[in-house]
Structure 1
Amino acid sequence: MQYEADTPDAYIMQLKPERQEVVIKLRKIILKNLPKGFEERISYGMIGYVVPHSIYPEGYHCNPELPLPFLNLASQKNFVALYHSGIYADKRLMDWFVGQYPEHCKRKLDMGKSCIRFKDLNDIPYELIAELCTKMTVKDWISLYEVKVKRK
């Protein structure tokens, strides 16, 4: 689901109260734990955390007018989702996250390439998400992106 919003706060205000509570908590965790340099904004109709053009002028290879995306937070039809590009691009980070997940959550991990889906809003591994947010700096992400993702 995409919401029409210009700011993260406007995005959150459109959600059902139970979704608002979860997204607000995840947003606070992300903002507290992401390394400096990432910038919060609406990106692809979701709350996004990007590398701004002031740090990475080339922008996103699919559309250089957009800043380099890193992390997105969204309320979808049947779940809340966290899209983490670093997990998609870094096998060691993916292996770490998949290995840690059962220690923090009762439910089986529901994950796509970069999408972590939370269908049970009462069983979200907030502490694990906080730690995940600390694992990659802007510099790390740019380097990984240029080697593993960017089309040359």
Structure 2
Amino acid sequence: MVFFITLLIYIYHMQSKATSVNDYLNEIPEERKVAFAKLRNTIVENLPKGFQEGMGYGMMGYSVPHSIYPNGYHCNPKDPLPFAGIASQKNFIAFYHMGIYANPELLNWFTSEYPKYSKKKLDMGKSCVRFKKPEDIPFELIGELMTKMSVQEWIETYESAFKKTK
């Protein structure tokens, strides 16, 4: 579960106080609004059935709702199980995808495909891909990535990793 803790530590450095997706979208700097809206639409259009959009950890997130996974997130079971997120940070737009950190095959796929969609060097942390310029976001690649893991596959990956750390 180190990757979940790492994600939370990273996110906490710059959180929004917005309580709704619309409030969050209204906070985004003008020069990022178009790209951020396109990123959100790309994610939503390619998000497998069962994930839900909402706010979590000070950013827009995509999670497995309690109606599908009643246990919720182990750090706080009242929260749904997080899967992906997008944030407008001080110096970049961040795209978080827990599947690319938790699944080495998916990570390998993503890192090998990235150069086909972008001339920029991949700026990536454990589950975070950073885009300093909105025009550098590889929307098509992110859309394809979002289709690669179903809700059930994410739950199985999460539970497998969680059980290994107990």
Q: Give TM-score, length-normalised by structure 1.
A: 0.97
Q: Report how far residue 65 of structure 1 moved.
A: 1.0
Report percent identity of matched pairs.
57
Write the distance in 2 (CA, Å) between the matches of 1:68 and 1:141.
Answer: 9
The residue that corresponds to 1:17 in the other structure is: 30
Whether 1:73 aligns to 2:77 is no
Tell me which of 137, 144, 149 is aligned to 2:150.
137
The residue that corresponds to 1:61 in the other structure is: 74
Cα distance change of structure 1 residues 67 and 80 upon mapping to structure 2, 3 Å threshold: same
Write the distance in 1 (CA, Å) between the matches of 2:27 and 2:138.
Answer: 24
CA RMSD of aligned residues (A): 1.0
Structure 1, unmatched stretches of 5+, are none
The residue that corresponds to 2:128 in the other structure is: 115
1:17 counterpart letter in structure 2: E
Write the distance in 2 (CA, Å) between the matches of 1:117 and 1:57.
Answer: 31
Write the distance in 1 (CA, Å) between the matches of 2:129 and 2:101.
Answer: 11
2:48 alignment partner, SS class: coil
Q: Give TM-score, length-normalised by structure 2.
A: 0.89
1:3 counterpart letter in structure 2: S
Tell me which of 15, 40, 53 is aligned to 1:40.
53
Whether 1:3 aligns to 2:13 is no
Q: Report how far residue 149 of structure 1 moved.
A: 3.8
2:44 counterpart letter in structure 1: L
The residue that corresponds to 1:95 in the other structure is: 108
After superposition, give the CA deviation of every residue in 1:116-143 in whole Å (9 maximum; x if it has no partner).
0001211110100000000000000000
1:113 counterpart letter in structure 2: K
Q: Report how far residue 7 of structure 1 moved.
A: 1.2
Write the distance in 2 (CA, Å) between the matches of 1:111 and 1:90.
Answer: 15
Structure 2, unmatched stretches of 5+, are 1-13
2:107 alignment partner, SS class: helix
Structure with greater helix share of residues: 2
Cα distance change of structure 1 residues 15 and 136 upon mapping to structure 2, 3 Å threshold: same
